[in-house]
Structure 1
Amino acid sequence: MHTSTMETAGQLPFDRSWFLHVNSFARSTPWLHAPARVWAEYGVVVFAALLLWSWWSARGRRDPKAVAAALWAPLGTVLAVGLNQLVGGAVDEARPYAVLPHVLVLVSRTSDFSFPSDHAVMAGSVAAGIFVANRRLGVVAAVAALAMCATRVYVGAHFPGDVIAGALFGALVTLAGWLLVHRVLVRLVEALAGTPLRIFVSAGPATAPGQLESP
């Protein structure tokens, strides 16, 4: 059950003051409302495009580890977001506008949990997964993740602790999962390189198992 007090279960000590400072900044920057709202609500499309770009790039390089990492990134993200439903449901923190009714809110209000932020979990997970496959593209994804976290607070949807915890949780789940499954995934990619399904793991001709490698 949501609490109506400021000291909710998942909140960190700085959450209220940081959130109010950001909300005050939002009130004074109406020119930023529209782009922040669009990114906070629809930026997920960009993360999907980055995942696709990561896979396409790894496939073109014919690097089995990079391809495996690029394929794991979306799977790790789904896993992280799924686990976050359990964590968020257990903590059951109220949204900022539920405990601070007079704050500026730029997005539709919801009644679901606030901590950890699903959007931040997704962003952190995607950034970590892509970084393993392609470091340069991973930096781009990390910047996008920071922007997602910042805008989710800016639009009034989350406290700062919600997005910090969410991004870290998403990254940890994806990286831990990669450590556990990467050997199996790399072998699978190498095996697929010699089958009709090679179009998913290599831009080149079919190769014998274990022969797929970067040029």
Structure 2
Amino acid sequence: MTAVSPVPLAFDGSHIDGSLFTTVTDFARDTKWLNTPMEWWTNAGLGVFAILMVVGWWQARRRDTTTMTLALAVPVSVAVAFAVAEVAKKLVQEARPCLSMPHAYIVETCPTPSDYAFPSGHTTTAVATVAALFLLDRRLSAIAAVFALIEGFSRVYVGGHYPHDVLAAAVLALPVAYVTSLVLRRFAVPLVARLRAGALAPVLTAKPAGAHVAR
């Protein structure tokens, strides 16, 4: 009987920057005391970006409708960037490092073969938040940028992605999220104005700081 050859893996990204990947994962092997915190952070750290979105919305309640529109645009822009990244994953079909380089030091559990590596979804979420917040509040965007750098590094450290997966996620997320927020600022302000004057007024508006009720 002729042996049936196994189904080949998807695109092997290790030929692009596998040596840089193993440099980082070798560092992870030499800093095992940091493995658990980094593995926790790489997923739980996404909550920081959600918190920054909430802060942006909370502050926008006391400002004009355009600002509130930009605040509401942040999660939408992140979702659009993430959706584009997911389409890219299906098109490229790059195998995870744990499948292409099984002998490398991998911290996180290897996902299913259909969970592709390129681009990094975690990094897409992080960098898209940076881009969308930039139009709303540059201080919040700067804070998000610091955490996005940590998030991107953590994805390589735990062995989930190659460095080019992280870089590609940033290159994709920045323009997609930024342009999406610009488009929403251009076209969604009238809708948000109606919502602020309607049943959602308590959620979308607040009295300016220091305002007093006339006696």
What's the counterpart of residue 35 of structure 1? 37
Unaligned runs of 5+ in 2: 1-6, 209-215
**Amino acid in structure 2 at the alignment position of 1:171:** L
Give the drift of 1:81: 1.1
Q: Distance in 2 between matches of 1:115 and 1:53?
A: 31
What's the counterpart of residue 68 of structure 2? 67
Find out whether 1:189 has 2:195 as its counterpart.
no
What's the counterpart of residue 105 of structure 1? 106
What are the Cα deviations for residues 129-160 of structure 1, in whole angstroms up to 9, with x where unaligned? 12211110110111111111000000000000
What's the counterpart of residue 211 of structure 1? none
What's the counterpart of residue 198 of structure 1? 201
Aligned-partner SS, 1:102 = coil
Find out whether 1:81 has 2:87 as its counterpart.
no
Give the drift of 1:12: 7.7
What are the Cα deviations for residues 176-198 of structure 1, in whole angstroms up to 9, with x where unaligned? 11222212222333333332322
Q: Distance in 2 between matches of 1:4 and 1:54?
A: 40
What's the counterpart of residue 123 of structure 1? 126
Find out whether 1:163 has 2:169 as its counterpart.
no
Residue from 24, 28, 53 that aligns with 2:55: 53
What are the Cα deviations for residues 72-109 of structure 1, in whole angstroms up to 9, with x where unaligned? 01011111111211111000001111111111111121
Percent of residue pairs bearing the same amino acid type: 35
Find out whether 1:178 has 2:190 as its counterpart.
no
Q: Distance in 2 between matches of 1:38 and 1:179?
A: 34
What's the counterpart of residue 211 of structure 2? none
Is the Cα contact below 8 Å between 1:2 and 1:94 reproduced in 2? Answer: no
What's the counterpart of residue 3 of structure 2? none
Is the Cα contact below 8 Å between 1:66 and 1:134 reproduced in 2? Answer: no
TM-score, normalised by the number of residues in structure 2 = 0.85
TM-score, normalised by the number of residues in structure 1 = 0.85
Find out whether 1:143 has 2:135 as its counterpart.
no
Q: Distance in 2 between matches of 1:154 and 1:64?
A: 42
Q: Distance in 1 between matches of 2:153 and 2:87?
A: 24
Unaligned runs of 5+ in 1: 206-215
Mark the structure with the bigger radius of gyration: 2
The aligned length equals: 200
Return closer, same or farther for 1:42/1:70 CA change in 2, 3 Å cut-off: same
Q: Distance in 2 between matches of 1:200 and 1:79?
A: 24
Give the drift of 1:163: 0.8
**Amino acid in structure 1 at the alignment position of 2:90:** G
